[in-house]
Amino acid sequence: MAILGSVLTTNSSKILVSEQTEIQTGDISREDVINAQKAWGDGIVAISKAYINGEDYRVLAAEIIETLYGYDEGTVLFKPTKAAKEEFRLTKEEAISYFVQGIVPEDHGFALQPWSKVRFENAGVVVHYDYALAMGDYYFTDVRNGQEIKVDFTFGYKKNKDGKLLIDLHYSSFPYNFAG
């Protein structure tokens, strides 16, 4: 192991410490995480467009959840932004409900806002072999008025047996607003 400035290296891993921290020790790359984030944001926008165009947005939402989340592979911990009474969506059906309404009464369909754009700003990405974590802010642009809404996030990604990144942790909340 060698320490050179702000770079620590070993035979099988590297740690880069900078404004955007990357810790990498294996199979998943930062680019893989960024691609997964883009796919998630594109999915939210696609659901919104299908809703606006009168298309079957519920089927699309189910396909997107099936494709991006790991509900079929094990436990997924999902705490949505706009959830109060039932704070967690631990099943695929509850996740679909959050995005397009359904079995959870308080769900109004987050993806039905609708949104025209989603962009991620990572505070940091940590990668360890076949698992990655990302934390930061994502911004949703409202189709109706162009206003951008900032939301805090933490995502966990695991690589499945087919080599695909799947979300198994999704925590989302509005930034704290101190009024005092």
Residue 147 CA to residue 80 CA, distance in Å, equals 20
Q: Is the pLDDT of residue 18 over 70?
A: no
User: Is the distance from CB of 81 to CB of 91 less than 8 angstroms?
Assistant: no
Low-confidence winner among 2-16, 77-91, 139-153 (lowest mean pLDDT): 2-16
Domains recognised in the chain with CATH numbers:
28-173 (3.10.450.50)
Higher pLDDT, 3 or 123: 123
Taking only the tens place, the pLDDT of each residue in 50-95 is 999 999 999 999 999 999 999 999 999 999 999 889 999 999 999 9
Prediction pTM value: 0.83
What angle do the packed helices 57-68 and 92-100 form, to 10 degrees?
130
Higher pLDDT, 162 or 92: 92
14 has which bridge partners? Answer: 9, 24
What letter would DSSP give residue 58? H
